[in-house]
Amino acid sequence: MINLLEMLWESFRDKPAQKAVIDLLVKYGLSVRDGQVYLGEIRIPFSSLAEVAGVDRRVVASAIKSIEENDFLRRFFSRLLPAGPFLKDVARDIGYTVLVIIPTRDQPGIIAGVSTILAKRNINIVQIIAEAPQLMDLQKMYIVVEGDVPGDVLNEIKNLEFVESLQIM
């Protein structure tokens, strides 16, 4: 399996300003098609990306050109899609709780282990966002649930062998 994070780092190792642009594309699921940047079907101006990345718009143009000149990166970024609405920052406003889990390592069964504990207590999961370990230095999993989570359930989750830390939002 290709470690995309390493490939991106290597491709832009000597171009830190362009890497800042690449990081934004990955973070927001922005695609690159025909020399343009898109959020789904919405075209994003280079100047907007440049402002957020803290670079000149010409750096954005160079990063996009670099992507289009590399077969793998072009295929990857042409098919990248945004994941949709992420409820993390509005959860409390609508009566939900967010569990932020940092695993000890990437392995099968993390979602199953946590969801089993929640299901046993009849706690409904509304959303799960698990960051891809190949794209993030520190992988996090966000689980949005209805209502509050009792302390004993939190302790049970914390005690799972693959949970390094658990935060509540």
Q: Enumerate the domain spans of the chain.
A: 4-79, 92-168
Q: Is the pLDDT of residue 3 over 70?
A: no
What pTM was estimated for this model as a whole?
A: 0.74
CATH topology of domain 92-168: Alpha-Beta Plaits (3.30.70)
Phi, psi of 129 (to 5 degrees): -120, 115
Instruction: Indicate the range of 54-58, 86-90, 120-124 predicted with least confidence.
Output: 86-90
pLDDT reported for residue 134: 64
pLDDT reported for residue 1: 45
Q: How far is CA 130 from CA 63, 65, 99, 102, in A?
A: 27, 30, 11, 10
